[in-house]
Chain A
Amino acid sequence: GENVEQHPSTLSVQEGDSAVIKCTYSDSASNYFPWYKQELGKRPQLIIDIRSNVGEKKDQRIAVTLNKTAKHFSLHITETQPEDSAVYFCAAAGTASKLTFGTGTRLQVTL
């Protein structure tokens, strides 16, 4: 089955800096890659996603890039703010539609 690896497990950046989180997946049939943000004790919230026919997608300060050849995708957050502090999960899904999640990255944005 699919296996998703996520790095780093923790990331601390200063407010205004950029943050990058990277994921790799194993199943070449996977073609949908969402990113979720989860604040403590709350539900995972979909923040951006990308499908395999697209190499990059941007939504304001958030962007995701996908390299299908290398089987990796990344989340980029620019101009980080304290409210960006949370745990971020990447995920991958193929024809079965079930999401396989990475292990999460705890992002801390310091003032």
Chain B
Amino acid sequence: DSGVTQTPKHLITATGQRVTLRCSPRSGDLSVYWYQQSLDQGLQFLIQYYNGEERAKGNILERFSAQQFPDLHSELNLSSLELGDSALYFCASSVLSYNEQFFGPGTRLTVL
């Protein structure tokens, strides 16, 4: 157990819908990262937040957005869902912006 928690564990929804994935970092970690893992794309970095502010952005679609709240938990919002958005979404956290990252258990999103 890395200490990073994610909810929900599984999510099944339909195309066009919107979902919110939640992540709580390890106690004391200020940085949160979101990754997408699909079968054909491997692990792709989406976005990083550090102490409430966006720090780095990867190949995140405009339909996706994220935020980090004052209590340091983070949410990833996915809207206008498409079949291709089906994937495992991982959150990771680290103490500082440039440090070891520890992954949560992931949320498996299935878009039907």
Contacts and interface: CB of A to CB of B under 8 A. Distances in A.
B43 A44 contact: yes
A32 B98 CA distance: 9
Interface in B86-105: 90, 97-98, 100-105
Interface residues of A, number: 22
B106 interface: yes
Contacts of A34: 100-101
Given A34-B101, A43-B103, A98 B33 contact: yes
Chain B, interface size: which category? 20 to 34
Interface in B64-100: 90, 97-98, 100
A73 interface: no
Contacts of A44: 43, 90, 103
Given A99-B45, A100-B45, A43 B100 contact: no
A43 B55 contact: no
Contacts of B97: 97
